Structure 1
Amino acid sequence: MNVFKCLKIFKTNDFAQAGERYWSLDKKRQEHMIGKHVANVRHVTIPAIQRHAIENLLQADETLAASVEPEGVRGYIEIKKATLEFSIFYRGIAH
């Protein structure tokens, strides 16, 4: 018997801690955190990588992601949210 077939891996929420940390900070420190993320994302010249960074931030906190979203990928968060809402809606109809 394969031991690994018996193991169950639970889905983790690796981004919750980042969102909680953001909201635990005072306004000045939140702005500092946003500034650091903006500076990091601004230097990335490939939009797909920028979108991936924003997607990671979106999983942590929507407000944080929206504050960091660069001009080159503006609107990406709304597209991701609409896609997710459609996916949830479609799964509800399909089942």
Structure 2
Amino acid sequence: MRLDEPWTLSPSVALRPEPFGALAYHFGNRKLVFLKTPALVEVVRGLASAGDVRTALVAAGVAEGSWPAYLAALDGLAASDMLLRREGEAAA
């Protein structure tokens, strides 16, 4: 996943808020994933309205030094089909 790509939460995924962050459940493939921080939940929710991943990270207040860890977490979510690349949108 690159910072300049547009992504969004899959419409098949529901997020359930939890004290540690959230549970993400994919109704299609039945995968359950733990989002371990509230900031990660905010990034994931913000992807739909952000032009790209970088914008979602900045909007969630994630320090730039933490971006590699967040990108790794987002890569894992994308590999589980929790996140979908928004097709037809040019990268910023």
Q: TM-score, normalised by structure 2?
A: 0.31
Greater share of helix: 1
Max Rg structure: 1
Greater share of strand: 2
Structure ranking higher on relative contact order (CA contacts 8 Å, 6+ apart): 2
Q: TM-score, normalised by structure 1?
A: 0.30
